[in-house]
Amino acid sequence: MSKTITTRYDVAEHLRTPEEMAAYLEACLEKADGDAAFIAKALGDIARAKGMAQVAKEAGLSRESLYKALSGERGPDFDTILKVVGALGLKLHVQAAGSRLRGSTSRSSSRPTKRRAA
């Protein structure tokens, strides 16, 4: 009987396009529940997918400080988050809590519904 060999899953290997990176960050923001270190780790995953040295250069940070800030062991400064998000080619946006995203396929509850007569 042969042994099963497993390897560690690395999400960075699967983040190939800016759209995939943005979708991953959006999902992590929804699941973070206020945990800044969790968001920092997600940004670290995306930075590794893009290339940590390139992201550090574009963010104006040293590679070592970028690794430390995005390790997930602590929450980095918001200034660092903004620099990294910009270097990744992503944007942060804000929406009211509980509102639906634009382009959602479900109807807005504030919209009147037409009823057909029976």
pLDDT at 102: 57
- pTM value? 0.76
Compute the distance between CA of residue 60 and CA of residue 75 in angstroms, rounded to an integer: 19
Higher-confidence residue of 44 and 105: namely: 44
Q: Which residue has the tokens 């104006």?
A: 60
Compute the distance between CA of residue 27 and CA of residue 107 in angstroms, rounded to an integer: 22
Average pLDDT, the chain: 86
Q: Which residue has the tokens 């042994």?
A: 3
